Amino acid sequence: MINPALQRGREEFRSAFFSAKGLFIIAAVFSFFVNLLMLTGPLFMLQVYDRVLASGSVPTLQALFLLVAGLFLMMGLLDFLRGRVLANAGARFQAILDGRVFEGTMRTALIPGERAKPAGAMRDLESIQQFLSGPAPYAFFDAPWTPIYIAVIFVLHPYLGWFAVGSAILLLIIALFNQIMTVKPEMESRKATALAEKYSESVRREAEAVRALGMIETTKQQWGKQRGEALQAQMLHSGRAGLFQAMSKSLRLFLQSAILAVGAWLAVQNLISPGVMIAGSILMGRALAPIDQAIAQWRMFTRARQGSRSLAQFFATTPVSEPKTALPDPAARLTVQDVAVAAPGSRTPIVRGIKMDVQPGEAIGVIGPSASGKSTLARALVGIWPVLAGEIRLDGATLDQWSEADLGKLIGYLPQDVGLFNGTVARNIARLLEDADERDIVQAAERAGAHDMILKLPNGYDTEIGEGGTSLSGGQRQRIGLARALFGDPPLLVFDEPNANLDAEGEQSLIHAIRQAKERHRAVIVMAHRPSAIAVCDRLLVMRDGTPVAFGPRDEILKQTTSNHGQVTQINRSVAGSVT
């Protein structure tokens, strides 16, 4: 029985494919007339040999030549239009699924271990688009004409017809062997190439460490080994595919000559005319062309077929977000009740038993040793990691009652690793919005204490920061990330290690930003190792091994010195020292 999710994924793929069915029908109509006009050549040859040469009539030759020239011109125009229609069909198919694949890719990137993988779904979609837009579909449109051409050859003479049937069967056998002998090498080639690309990308991301630790030679050797395996698999596949393609082409040309020999023998026996002999050879060439073309384009076809299966599976595992009813702007009131959190795609909780509430104008600090679950909790509070049990409610509504776009406007999230995008500082603060009010951008920067820092950049707010903000220091990226979190004055602010890369001035700006947010009655949650970040927090949640250890007013939590919480006591003492 087919998995219902996989069935939905296949239906989604088919729906996009058949959205261009009108264009495919037009291409099929053009193919009908193109193949019909393909008879022009054989018929012209037949008339020249059997009528013009026999009668010696030059006017007849002139009339036939003008007619043939017009028909071939029409055939060329229709063939060109067929190619353009198929290109438009491929483009429409890709345009329909581009957004869907991008959204699904973003969802997949939330799964640990998947972010570093190449966007395979994008490549699958592109392979299908290239297949639809290229010459490969011609074989499918022209294939139904093979028996028609062979039937016409039978009309010329049964011997020629049976020879054409045998030739077609021989080429079909080669096509079948091509499929059998190349499918496994192609899968191994794609797998090996993907592994080599993945390793290369991981090394590129860690280029600084690789260079500093003298690992260039070892990583190059490892990459070379994987790349060699990929090249070997590619050579095996391309060698076999090339062999069958060469066999098919050579055999088709030989068979065209062979049927000419058969026709010549029949002509010598006065069973057919010389014109029939030439026409039969041309017709068989047209009859066998789709088979030969299918073998030549088989690699692209198998890629598209595998891509369609992969996309259907991809759609099944990344369902479309259902439309949500718009809710009124919420108050900054967050309730977390018995929450257990797991990474996307997993059922094993990393964090469990979390209970807390955050009121408007209140800041909650979350502290604990490394791997205690602070970042996991932060991801759950902003809705990017799933809740296995319990509830997270913002002003009474669970987070999944908002659409992703609407929820994003209600949350100011500053992750540990601040990722910025290629563009200006202003666009990054505005969350890439095209029509953002410039006053809102500057106001967010001022609230983050980053306004003066931005003005010192070469072009101020219009400074291009490069991919990932590579032109900025870690502290600058973190302060711009804080401004982005504050853009639009969202009611809920979640900061994960917000002062990890900040100097003393930056930490003061952060503390001032939290105080201002509290004055505006915003709810603030700060995950922190360094004590200064929670100096302005009202209450503290202490975590260890994914579970809450203590939750209450900051000063009371800081005074806890019981031996049962030795690790927490050490943190509390450092926090207390910072506050005092």
Contact 276, 156 (CB under 8 A): yes
Instruction: Establish if 326 belongs to a structural domain.
Output: no
**CATH value at residue 184:** 1.20.1560.10
Contact 358, 333 (CB under 8 A): yes
413 in the same domain as 358: yes
Closest to 73 (Cα-Cα) out of 31, 36, 37: 37
Of the residues 288, 319, 350, which one is the last residue of a structural domain? 319
Please, which residues have CB within 8 angstroms of residue 10's CB and are 6 or more apart in sequence? Answer: 312, 315, 316
Which class for 408: exposed (0-12), middle (13-18), buried (19 or more C-beta within 10 A)? middle
Instruction: Establish if 329 belongs to a structural domain.
Output: no
346 in the same domain as 282: no
H-run or E-run covering 391 = strand 387-394
Amino acid letter, 474: G
Instruction: Establish if 546 belongs to a structural domain.
Output: yes
153 in the same domain as 30: no
386 in the same domain as 253: no
The neighbour count for residue 462, using CB atoms within 10 Å, is 12
CA dihedral over 118, 418, 101, 345, signed as positive or negative: positive
124 in the same domain as 220: no
Contact 107, 317 (CB under 8 A): no
Cα Dmax for the chain? 118
Query: How is residue 111 written in tokens?
Result: 């799964």
Q: What's the pLDDT at 205?
A: 67
Q: How far apart are CA 526 and CA 502, in angstroms?
A: 15
Q: Domain residues for 474? A: 334-579
147 in the same domain as 42: no
341 in the same domain as 251: no
Count Cβ neighbours within 10 Å for each residue of 154-187 and write b for 16 or more, e otherwise.
eebbebbbebbeebbebbeebbeebeeebbebbe
pLDDT digits (tens, 9 = 90+) for 242-272: 787 788 778 888 888 888 888 889 888 888 8
Closest to 156 (Cα-Cα) out of 259, 291, 235, 3: 259
Contact 525, 541 (CB under 8 A): no
Q: How far apart are CA 428 and CA 477, in angstroms?
A: 10
Q: What's the pLDDT at 208?
A: 66
For the chain, residues with pLDDT lower than 70 are: 1-2, 111-119, 205, 208, 468, 561-580
Instruction: Establish if 324 belongs to a structural domain.
Output: no
* Residue 171 vs residues 96, 161, 168, 281: alpha-carbon distances, Å: 37, 16, 5, 16
* DSSP per position, 465-490: --GGGTTS-HHHHHHHHHHHHHTT--
- Tokens 């009813």 identify what position? 325
120 in the same domain as 23: yes
476 in the same domain as 370: yes
pLDDT digits (tens, 9 = 90+) for 463-482: 988 776 777 888 888 999 99
Of the residues 285, 319, 353, which one is the last residue of a structural domain? 319
CA dihedral 384, 385, 389, 391 (to 10 degrees): -20
The single-letter DSSP state of residue 496 is: E
Please, which residues have CB within 8 angstroms of residue 483's CB and are 6 or more apart in sequence? Answer: 429, 444, 445, 447, 448, 450
Query: How is residue 410 written in tokens?
Result: 């209600």
Amino acid letter, 10: R
475 in the same domain as 574: yes
Q: How far apart are CA 560 and CA 542, in angstroms?
A: 11
pLDDT digits (tens, 9 = 90+) for 324-369: 888 888 999 999 999 999 888 788 899 999 999 999 999 999 998 8
Instruction: Establish if 27 belongs to a structural domain.
Output: yes
CA dihedral 199, 111, 309, 104 (to 10 degrees): -110
Q: Backbone phi, then psi, for 363, in 5-degree steps?
A: -120, 130
172 in the same domain as 61: no
Instruction: Establish if 325 belongs to a structural domain.
Output: no
Q: pTM higher than 0.85 for the full model?
A: no
**CATH value at residue 443:** 3.40.50.300
Structural domains in the chain (count): 3
Query: How is residue 150 written in tokens?
Result: 């062979």
Instruction: Establish if 328 belongs to a structural domain.
Output: no
Instruction: Establish if 498 belongs to a structural domain.
Output: yes
Q: How far apart are CA 496 and CA 330, in angstroms?
A: 22
425 in the same domain as 573: yes
Q: What's the pLDDT at 562?
A: 40
Strand partners, 524: 363, 493
Q: What's the pLDDT at 570?
A: 47
